Amino acid sequence: MLSIPEFVGTQSDEPIGPQPPIPGGVREMEISLDTQSDPPKMRLVLPGGRTWYFKSLFGRAECIGSDNETGRLYFRGMAQLVGDSTMVLHRAPDAEIHPVVDGGYMLPNTLNRICYRRAGQDWRYRDEILTREKGWDHPDALKHGTNVVGDFHAEYREEDKQFHIMHRGWSMLEPDGTIHLYDPDIRG
C-alpha cells in the first residue's frame, strides 16, 4: 500500500466570513476537510461542486457512505448555515430509520469521534468519553472501520481545533469493517 502521510493541521481562529445561503431541499452532500485551502477548513459540498465552509457541525442526517481514498463522508438530508461558521444538518422528512445489523460488535451510546486516517485509508472511531475516563490507550476506546453509514447525530464544536466529526449515539461495527451509526433519539 502507498504510504500517505497523516494531515497535521489545526483550525484557524479567523472568521470564515460571509457565505451565500445554502439552497433548501433534500439532497446528497459531502462533508470533508479541505486541506488545499489556506488555512484548511471543514466543508460541505453539494452536487455540482457548490461549497460552504464551517467550524461547527450539529444536527442529524442519513450517512450514506464514505470514500476511503479521499476521506469524504456522504450524507442525505438538508443543510443550513447559521452565522458564518455553524453548519446544521436536518434529516429528510422521508428518511427511514437505519436497520440494526446482526453479527456486529455493539459500541455503546456515547460521543464518538469519526476521523479519516489517510495512512490506512480507513476511519478511526474513538469513544471520547471512555478515552477521557480510562485513557488514550484503553483497548475499547478506538476501533477502525472501512465504511460509515446510518443515522448520524452530529456534534462537532469549533473548540476542537483538530477537525474532528462527532457522532452522539450508539453504533455497530460489522466484521467487514462497516460502522453503523444509530441515533437513540430516533431508534431508542
- Give the pTM: 0.89
36-57: average pLDDT: 90
**Banded pLDDT at 2 (limits 50, 70, 90):** very low
Summary mean pLDDT of the chain: 88
Question: Can you say whether the dihedral through the CA atoms of 102, 104, 109, 115 is positive or negative?
Answer: negative
The 3-state DSSP class for residue 134 equals: helix
Cell of 37: 485551502
Q: Which residue has the cell 479541505?
A: 34
Residue 161 has pLDDT above 70, yes or no: no
Complete DSSP assignment for 31-49: EEEETTSSS-EEEEE-TTS
Cell of 44: 460541505
Residue spans of the domains in the chain: they are 26-93+112-188
HSE toward the beta carbon, residue 72, CA cutoff 13 A: 15
Dist. CA 80–CA 71, nearest whole Å: 22
CB-based contact 113:166 (threshold 8 Å) = yes
Percentage of the chain lying above the pLDDT 70 cut: 89
